Amino acid sequence: MELTAQDVLNKYRELYPGEPMVVRSPGRINLIGEHTDYNDGFVMPAAIDRETVFAIAESLDGKSEIYSIKYNEYYTVDMNNPKPAASPTWVNYLLGVLRQFVDKGYTVKPFRCVFGGNIPMGAGLSSSASVECGFAFALNALNHHSIDKKELIRIAQWSEHNFVGVKCGIMDQFASMMGSENHVILLDCRSLEYRYSPLELKDFTIVLCDSKVKHSLVDSEYNTRRNECEQGVAILKKHYPAINSLRDVTEDMVRKHKDELKGKVFDRCLYVVQEIARVQQASKDLEKHDLQAFGKKMFETHEGLSKLYEVSCPELDFLVEQATKFSGVMGARVMGGGFGGCTINLVKKDEVGSFLSAVRPAYAEKFGIALETYIVNIKDGTSLTSKSIEKINLL
Ligand code: GLA
């Protein structure tokens, strides 16, 4: 269902009296820098023109209620003691945010909230971060707190860790909240220093190929990867006491202690240190507008994610392999956590048609799945919609 902000506003008006404020919160892409964020590394994400929209207003009867358009379900919120709900699970993304407001002493007035959006779920476009960030932003605005954006980002991430159960890094929430139209964010996940870089792709465009698969155990596999990286750091720290994360580790250090980095730990660490270095070089490629060099690094990232980090799957490997056959595709790789979702492809604009008309039937023939593709535009991060801004200015 392609919901717009107007649809969400209309739904609110249908269900509740009064005029709500409307907040939009985007999904994200990531050009390069995968599984580096929780290793204190670098990433290069951007917010996109697919978003979750919240219509929210104070309730007058003291009750708080959230309505999900997607699930057509209501949830009555216990404002004093928000706890993870066994069902519906969609509400946990929001309840974790509320829990943080309560724990941090930010008062929250009873509210009515309607939300929905057009970010495909399970596609690796961070629909969950957009929900967490949008709700955190909405509670902040509705209650006239002035929590800064970095704290809202942390609140959103806390919710994912503690109420959803995924020990994610900071990239998705940061990109959703801080995105800037037509810019990528060069983010240092250790210091949270960042800079916007104009994304000037000229004859090229970004095409996402949605494999439409989401293999089970994604969340537990994600947490396992994070744990393997931590094991690697603990072992290397015995030799290099100054290191605190894989950010502080070089490829030479990893290779030198290969025998001690048992099981999968060596491969995981090797991928991460290579990827952290690759992102730094890739940002130089982008500055020089050298898309060929940039695209080559995307393919290298895929190779690492597939062979060393093992977060790809046959469907995604196939899509990337198909992309290598086209001279008009500069780079392609699995994007986000992996195990399904999208590949991100850097494609020459006038070859998008021929690329897709070859990949679609090939994918359907091999896996019996209709490939979905998205061409995305880069937009601003979480914000009030213009109508809400007008309303606040008038108050
Ligand atoms: C998911 C997580 C992010 C990041 C990516 C992989 O999207 O939420 O924090 O780790 O996977 O780069």
37 lines ligand 1 (CB under 6 A): yes
Q: Are residues 188 and 215 in the same domain?
A: no
Backbone angles phi, psi at 128, to 5 degrees: -65, -45
Query: What is the distance between the alpha carbons of residues 51 and 357, in angstroms, rounded to a whole number?
Result: 27
Distance of CA 329 to the CA centre of its chain: 23
Q: Are residues 62 and 190 in the same domain?
A: yes
42 lines ligand 1 (CB under 6 A): no
Q: Are residues 260 and 172 in the same domain?
A: no
Q: Are residues 82 and 139 in the same domain?
A: yes
Active site residue 40: no
CA 172 / ligand 1 centre spacing (Å): 7
Q: Are residues 189 and 70 in the same domain?
A: yes
From 48, 171, 226, the mutation candidate for ligand 1 (largest count of ligand atoms within 8 A of CB) is: 171
Structure tokens at 255: 């290779």
Q: What pLDDT is attached to residue 395? A: 44
CATH number of the domain bearing residue 120: 3.30.230.10
End-to-end CA distance of the chain: 34
120 lines ligand 1 (CB under 6 A): no
Query: What is the distance between the alpha carbons of residues 159 and 92, in angstroms, rounded to a whole number?
Result: 8
CA 304 / ligand 1 centre spacing (Å): 15
CA 168 / ligand 1 centre spacing (Å): 6
Of 172, 210, 285, 317, the active-site residue reads 172
22 lines ligand 1 (CB under 6 A): no
Relative to the CA of 124, which ligand 1 atom is closest?
7
CA 181 / ligand 1 centre spacing (Å): 21
Query: What is the distance between the alpha carbons of residues 338 and 217, in angstroms, rounded to a whole number?
Result: 11
Per-residue pLDDT of the chain (395 residues; tens, 9 = 90+): 578 999 999 999 999 999 999 999 999 999 999 999 999 999 999 999 999 999 999 998 999 999 999 999 999 999 989 999 999 999 999 999 999 999 999 999 999 999 999 999 889 999 999 999 999 999 999 999 999 999 999 999 999 999 999 999 999 999 999 999 999 999 999 999 999 999 999 999 999 999 999 876 677 899 999 999 999 999 999 999 999 999 999 999 999 999 999 999 999 999 999 999 999 999 999 999 999 999 999 999 999 999 999 999 999 999 999 999 999 999 999 999 999 999 999 999 999 999 999 999 999 999 999 999 999 999 999 999 976 665 655 44
139 lines ligand 1 (CB under 6 A): no
CA 380 / ligand 1 centre spacing (Å): 20
Burial 5-44, CB ≥16 within 10 A → b, else e: bebbbebbeeebeeebbbbbbbbbbbbbbbbbbbbbbbbb
Q: Are residues 183 and 242 in the same domain?
A: no
Query: What is the distance between the alpha carbons of residues 269 and 258, in angstroms, rounded to a whole number?
Result: 10
Q: What pLDDT is attached to residue 3? A: 86
Q: What pLDDT is attached to residue 391? A: 60
Q: Are residues 221 and 357 in the same domain?
A: yes
27 lines ligand 1 (CB under 6 A): no
**Domain count of the chain?**
2
Q: Are residues 159 and 269 in the same domain?
A: no
Query: What is the distance between the alpha carbons of residues 201 and 317, in angstroms, rounded to a whole number?
Result: 25
Q: Are residues 12 and 114 in the same domain?
A: yes
Q: What pLDDT is attached to residue 389? A: 61
For residue 351, give its domain range: 204-376
**Are the C-beta atoms of 380 and 133 separated by less than 8 Å?**
no
What residue owns the CA closest to ligand 1's atom 8? 168
171 lines ligand 1 (CB under 6 A): yes
Q: Are residues 164 and 220 in the same domain?
A: no
**Are the C-beta atoms of 65 and 112 separated by less than 8 Å?**
yes
Q: Are residues 236 and 263 in the same domain?
A: yes
Q: Are residues 80 and 128 in the same domain?
A: yes
